[in-house]
Amino acid sequence: MSAWVVRRPGPMETRPLERVRLPVPEPGPGEVLVEVETCAVCRTDLHLAEGDLPPRRPGTVPGHEVVGRVVARGPGASRLEVGTRVGVAWLRYTCGRCRYCRRGLENLCPNSRYTGWDADGGYAEYTTALEDYVYTLPEDRPAERLAPLLCAGIIGYRALARAELPPGGRLGVYGFGASAHLTAQVAIAQGASVHVLTRSRAAQELARELGAASAGGAYDAPPEPLDSAILFAPVGDLVPVALAALDRGGTLAVAGIHLTDVPSLNYQDHLFYERGVRSVTANTREDGRAFLDLATRHPLSVTTTPYPFDRADEALADLAADRVNGAAVLHIGG
């Protein structure tokens, strides 16, 4: 099969991705083999390619927002029939036994494994996944619109919960890429006033089209104090900016898996009056099920930039340069 692998992590101009031929993988115990139709391009893939996330295995196939169909089942796999349309997401495995798993916090499991990091992902014609971590998907939605939901949507859903936005509250969204443009819609549908802060003029325009109350530059002050904020941009310099924009008792959720260094915080300006900052670590399967159910019942406007499979490296380079509006999606098969 054709696949892209991270051969030599480094800046995108060094071409860290390489297209190769690999054997079609065999599904192991409890696994299904999925023929990939589309795979969305996530900033986590970019962090892996550029080395911000240390590779956990050589020559990894990235990609963890996979839409495809089950074409084979490994020993013991029985829940999903061959032909089922499925989504393969970031969370690949948790132990189910540790104190975090037992408390419903499997995203904090120290034995967790991830698609496109610990195992080959969706920048390929086929991939495997444990069927207990695979989501069934509706047949009546275009694959290009479903793929970004599998990470951008799910992690945004968890970030919104972590931000503890009160009913009818004022939410600041810093950065406006794949995850942010979906999360903003969920918050607006719940009655929030959303203020988008991002450097991209095209993203600012998209934010207004989707119903944001305002859209300005990343370092601008929002037009009113914020009850909550979510930082999607992997820029540590924005942490004090977002904290300073919070009203008393407000919460900042940092949604990325990687963040540049956070500068010194001033207690009075940034943290006093019970302002808080929280990280967001992956997601639970329950997050995924809840969000995908919401997105099925209340379809979101998913903005995508399509790429043919042979331009996967170009898609990542465009993401690095902020040339992607919404989510980049690779068309692979189907």
CATH number at residue 22: 3.90.180.10
Q: How many domains does the chain have?
A: 2
Alpha-helical runs (H) found in the chain: 43-50, 99-102, 143-146, 152-162, 178-189, 201-209, 238-245, 285-297, 312-320
Q: Report the pLDDT value the prediction gives residue 334, as an integer from 0 to 100.
A: 66
289 in the same domain as 273 = no
Are 184 and 155 within 8 A, CB to CB? no
In terms of Cβ atoms closer than 10 Å to its own Cβ (0-12, 13-18, 19+), residue 92 is buried
78 in the same domain as 27 = yes
- The DSSP bridge partners found for residue 253 are 230, 278
Are 51 and 17 within 8 A, CB to CB? no
119 in the same domain as 6 = yes
210 in the same domain as 61 = no
172: nearest Cα among 195, 191, 155, 156 = 195
> What confidence category does residue 15 fall into, taking pLDDT thresholds of 50, 70 and 90?
very high
Are 30 and 129 within 8 A, CB to CB? no
Q: Report the pLDDT value the prediction gives residue 323, as an integer from 0 to 100.
A: 92
125-172 per-position pLDDT tens digit: 999 999 999 999 999 999 999 999 999 999 999 999 999 999 999 999
Average pLDDT value for residue range 41-58: 94
- Judged against a pLDDT cut of 80, whether residue 112 lies above it is answered with yes
Euclidean distance between CA atoms 193 and 187, whole angstroms: 8
User: What pTM, to 2 d.p., does this model score?
Assistant: 0.94
268 in the same domain as 298 = no
> What confidence category does residue 298 fall into, taking pLDDT thresholds of 50, 70 and 90?
confident
Place of tokens 């992902």: 121
Average pLDDT value for residue range 199-219: 96
34 in the same domain as 160 = no
227: nearest Cα among 182, 172, 188, 157 = 172
Q: Report the pLDDT value the prediction gives residue 297, as an integer from 0 to 100.
A: 87
Q: Left (φ > 0), alpha (ψ -120 to 50) or beta: where does 161 sit?
A: alpha
242-256 per-position pLDDT tens digit: 999 999 999 999 998
Q: Kindly report the average pLDDT of the chain as a whole number.
A: 96
Q: Which domain holds residue 216?
A: 154-279
Are 116 and 60 within 8 A, CB to CB? yes
- Judged against a pLDDT cut of 90, whether residue 291 lies above it is answered with yes
Domain boundary among 279, 302, 323: 279
297 in the same domain as 268 = no
- Judged against a pLDDT cut of 80, whether residue 330 lies above it is answered with yes
- The DSSP bridge partners found for residue 31 are 130
Average pLDDT value for residue range 317-324: 93
132 in the same domain as 226 = no
Q: Is the dihedral of CA 37, 42, 48, 51 positive or negative?
A: positive
- 231: phi then psi, degrees, rounded to nearest 5: -100, 110
- Judged against a pLDDT cut of 80, whether residue 195 lies above it is answered with yes
Are 287 and 263 within 8 A, CB to CB? no
Q: What percent of the chain has pLDDT over 90?
A: 96
181 in the same domain as 54 = no
243 in the same domain as 225 = yes
